[in-house]
């Protein structure tokens, strides 16, 4: 998408929710925007970086990102911060204090919930943060509302002197809608207001702010009763009224076209009086919300009888099919109310395609080596492309919890392993961006407590899993301009790792990598192995001539398959009997040369030397050129 700054107010454009939020941040006159990449929120900052007059910056983690945005707000500017749902777990420390002090310039925090677990380790409902931090929650249903609600969020932030949370979901973030855009507002910077009693969060200062926060709660509750972000979608069938929010409200409209709907745009605080008045116009009330029963519980606490999660599932998207099935259950048309969650029907039968790493990925060989040393190791993993190392064919990961936890879990494993694991080495595997995000503290703790852990930093010079974004270890900023680049070897030595225990290695040199891992896991102290080849999907990667299989030389041993490279395909399988009378399964292979990057990892595994360079005249990529 272009910046669209030349599009006049009132023009229409087809935008995703992420693009619409970015547009609204620009239109609102914000001058600073920060984020850490995380699906489904990543594209918001990527799009914002294309707009003039907005300083868009990647941060090393969500806490840092929010604190930078808070600082910009204190300086008097409108600012913006974006993250996925688990990111607020990291940023919560800053949020919970700043909610007391408030803001100067408007501050909007977009939190994108991965409802349905498309690419996350858990499913959270970020509306809880509004209750926890005493902050308003705005919940758009589509891209057009995402733009309108973002603009409203800035007004609300400055009206009530607090950050405002814009709660998005994957469906809002990624689905496109026709959006009517506007022009950029001219906002005067208010300047920093020196007031230590407000900005310095000492206990004596914070105690004074608590009553003010309570007063703000009262004001926000009154505002919720009149907010035009909450609307009633009329319906002729008064037998059932629905309270809904976000994209679930659109599913309700499709599933129950005749039902009146109270569509909550401001979902915290809830408008109790409006809900009570709405309930009086219908026979029954159904609360439809993704994913937790927050509104349902608050409505029941107000003394109203409603139907909610006793009928609807507490996880996953509330699709039209799920809602129609729930309605059938409610009407007594089915005898299996416990099957509501499966109402969308069985999954179609398709050939299984488990996720895997890319052909030639520099993470293939580290996990190949770890899989070969599997019985002698405990392996603690982390969040990134390399999390796939837990799957087939490597199965070389024992734990994976959250960003940065590979080092700290490994620390605990090493410190408390029992007699059965006493002789096993402990390895922590982490990516470059994840290490900078939350891994450095774990390494410092390992060194300080003299732990016996081998740390593998898989540096592919990008935030690969979210689409190849920049970070402080790539040497470039969000605009592609050169920036200072972290020297990982120097960094870990500065944190106390002995120089002789720090090793940078080409991961494609498989024999050397295997030998290094085996050696370092036997050393009883902290050691660090840094792989140093870029992601194959970035322009930093330089492919080598593709490879092919000499079919006459191939013995079907299948060793190359264990690298996990998807460019290697099995063409046929056979079973033979050895001289000792044992059955032996053979797998003959070919290499899809169109995908092969020529990394040579498979060559190192091939005993009969059946994998050879492809002749240039047979190379598909060269033929296309």
**pLDDT(551) > 60:** yes
Q: Are 395 and 424 a contacting pair, CB within 8 Å?
A: no
pLDDT value of position 336? 47
Domain termination site, one of 497, 531, 565 = 531
Picking from 134, 306, 144, the residue whose alpha carbon sits closest to that of residue 229 is 144
Residue 461 placed within a domain: yes
Same domain flag for 162 and 120: yes
Work out the pLDDT band at 174, boundaries 50, 70, 90. Answer: very high
Tens of pLDDT, residue by residue over 251-278, are 999 999 999 999 999 999 999 999 999 9
Q: Are 481 and 494 a contacting pair, CB within 8 Å?
A: no
Distance (Å) of CA 524 to CA 147, 378, 418, 451, 620: 56, 14, 17, 8, 49
* Number of structural domains found in the chain: 4
Same domain flag for 212 and 240: no
Tell me the average pLDDT across 308-315. 90
Say whether the peptide bond before residue 291 is cis (omega within 30 degrees of 0).
yes
Tell me the average pLDDT across 536-559. 91
CA distance 283 to 227: 25
**pLDDT(375) > 90:** yes
pLDDT value of position 4? 56
Same domain flag for 463 and 560: no
pLDDT value of position 617? 59
Could you tell me the two tokens for 37?
């990449």
Same domain flag for 450 and 559: no
Same domain flag for 213 and 298: no
Tens of pLDDT, residue by residue over 328-344, are 888 887 644 444 555 54
CB atoms within 10 A of CB 511: 9
pLDDT value of position 331? 84
Beta strand 547-549 with 502-505 is: unpaired
Picking from 415, 336, 352, the residue whose alpha carbon sits closest to that of residue 378 is 415
Looking at residue 76, what DSSP letter applies?
T
- Which residues lie below 8 Å from residue 491, measured CB to CB, with a gap of 6+? 440
Same domain flag for 175 and 279: no
* HEC profile of 524-575: CCCEEEEECCCCCCCCCCCCCCCEEECCCCCCCCCHHHHHCCCCEEEEEEEE
Tell me the average pLDDT across 71-83. 96
Same domain flag for 215 and 311: no
Tens of pLDDT, residue by residue over 120-135, are 888 899 999 999 999 9
CA distance 461 to 286: 49
Annotated binding site: 554, 557, 560, 565, 596, 599, 602, 606
Residue 350 placed within a domain: no
- Least trusted range by pLDDT, from 25-29, 48-52, 333-337, 462-466: 333-337
The helix/strand/coil state of 285 is: strand
Tell me the average pLDDT across 449-475. 94
In which domain, by residue range, is 414 found? 364-531
Same domain flag for 69 and 203: yes
Same domain flag for 316 and 378: no
Its pTM stands at 0.89
Residue 169 placed within a domain: yes
Tens of pLDDT, residue by residue over 393-444, are 999 999 999 999 999 999 999 999 988 889 999 999 999 999 999 999 999 9
pLDDT value of position 578? 78
Residue 31 placed within a domain: yes
**pLDDT(19) > 80:** yes
Hunting for tokens 């109790």 — which residue is that?
272
Same domain flag for 129 and 193: yes
Picking from 352, 425, 357, the residue whose alpha carbon sits closest to that of residue 394 is 357
> The domain spanning residue 112 has which CATH number?
3.40.50.970
**pLDDT(236) > 60:** yes
Hunting for tokens 């669209």 — which residue is that?
4
Residue 460 placed within a domain: yes
Q: Are 91 and 207 a contacting pair, CB within 8 Å?
A: no
Annotated binding site for [4Fe-4S] cluster: 554, 557, 560, 565, 596, 599, 602, 606
Question: Taking all residues of the chain, what is their mean pLDDT, rounded to a whole number?
Answer: 91
The helix/strand/coil state of 426 is: strand
> The domain spanning residue 328 has which CATH number?
3.40.50.920
The helix/strand/coil state of 214 is: helix
Exposed, middle or buried, 302 (CB in 10 Å: 0-12/13-18/19+)? middle
Residue 336 placed within a domain: yes
* HEC profile of 108-163: EEEEEECCCCCCCCCCCCCHHHHHHHCCCEECCCCHHHHHHHHHHHHHHHHHHCCC
* φ/ψ of residue 488, rounded to 5: -60, -40
């Amino acid at each position: 998408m272009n910046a669209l700054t030349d599009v006049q107010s009132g023009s229409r454009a087809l935008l995703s929710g992420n693009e619409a939020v970015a547009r609204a941040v620009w239109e609102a006159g914000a001058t600073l925007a920060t984020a850490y990449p995380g699906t489904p929120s990543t594209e918001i900052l990527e799009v914002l970086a294309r707009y003039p007059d907005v300083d868009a910056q990647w941060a090393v983690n969500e806490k840092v990102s929010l604190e930078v945005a808070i600082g910009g707000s204190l300086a008097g500017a409108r600012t913006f911060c974006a993250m996925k749902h688990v990111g607020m777990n990291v940023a919560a420390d800053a949020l919970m204090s700043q909610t007391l002090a408030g803001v100067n310039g408007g501050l909007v925090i977009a939190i994108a919930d991965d409802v349905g677990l498309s690419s996350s380790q858990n499913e959270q409902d970020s509306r809880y943060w509004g209750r926890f931090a005493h902050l308003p929650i705005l919940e758009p249903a589509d891209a057009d509302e995402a733009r309108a609600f973002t603009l409203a969020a800035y007004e609300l932030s400055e009206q009530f002197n607090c950050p405002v949370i814009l709660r998005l979901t994957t469906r809002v973030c990624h689905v496109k809608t026709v959006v009517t855009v506007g022009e950029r507002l001219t906002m005067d910077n208010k300047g920093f207001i020196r007031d230590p009693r407000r900005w310095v969060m000492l206990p004596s200062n914070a105690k004074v702010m608590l009553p003010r926060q309570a007063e703000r709660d009262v004001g926000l509750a009154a505002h919720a009763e009149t907010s035009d972000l909450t609307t009633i979608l009329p319906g002729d069938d008064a037998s059932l009224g629905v309270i809904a929010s976000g994209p679930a409200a659109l599913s309700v409209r499709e599933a129950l076209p005749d039902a009146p709907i109270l569509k909550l745009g401001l979902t915290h605080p809830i408008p109790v009086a409006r809900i009570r008045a709405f309930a009086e116009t219908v026979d029954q009330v159904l609360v439809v919300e993704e994913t937790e029963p927050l509104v349902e519980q608050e409505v029941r606490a107000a003394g109203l009888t409603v139907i909610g999660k006793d009928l609807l599932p507490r996880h996953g998207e509330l699709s039209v099919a799920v809602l129609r099935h729930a309605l059938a259950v409610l009407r007594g048309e089915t005898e299996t109310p416990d099957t509501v969650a499966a109402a969308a029907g069985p999954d179609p039968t398709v050939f299984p395609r488990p996720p895997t790493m890319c052909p030639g990925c520099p993470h293939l060989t580290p996990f190949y080596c770890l899989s070969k040393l599997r019985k002698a190791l405990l392996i603690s993993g982390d969040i990134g492309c390399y999390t796939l190392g837990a799957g087939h064919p490597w199965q070389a990961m024992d734990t994976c919890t959250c960003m940065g936890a590979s080092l700290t879990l490994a620390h605990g494993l090493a410190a408390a392993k029992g007699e059965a694991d006493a002789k096993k080495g402990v390895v922590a595997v982490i990516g470059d961006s994840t290490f900078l995000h939350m891994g450095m503290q774990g390494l410092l703790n390992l060194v300080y407590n003299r732990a016996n852990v081998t740390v593998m930093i898989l540096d592919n010079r990008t935030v690969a899993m979210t689409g190849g974004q920049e970070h402080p270890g790539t040497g470039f900023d969000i605009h592609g301009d050169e920036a200072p680049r972290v020297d990982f070897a120097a960094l870990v030595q500065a944190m106390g790792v002995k120089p002789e225990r720090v090793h940078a290695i080409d991961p494609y040199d498989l024999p050397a990598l295997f030998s290094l891992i085996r050696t370092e896991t036997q050393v009883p102290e902290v050691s660090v192995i840094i792989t140093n080849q870029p992601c194959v999907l970035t322009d930093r990667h330089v492919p080598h001539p593709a490879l092919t299989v000499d079919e006459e030389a191939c013995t079907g041993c299948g060793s190359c398959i264990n690298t996990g490279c998807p460019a290697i395909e099995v063409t046929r399988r056979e079973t033979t009997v050895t001289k000792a009378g044992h059955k032996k399964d053979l797998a003959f292979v070919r290499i899809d040369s169109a995908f092969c990057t020529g990394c040579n990892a498979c060559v190192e595994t091939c005993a009969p030397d059946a994998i050879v360079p492809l002749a240039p005249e047979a190379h598909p990529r060269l033929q296309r050129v």
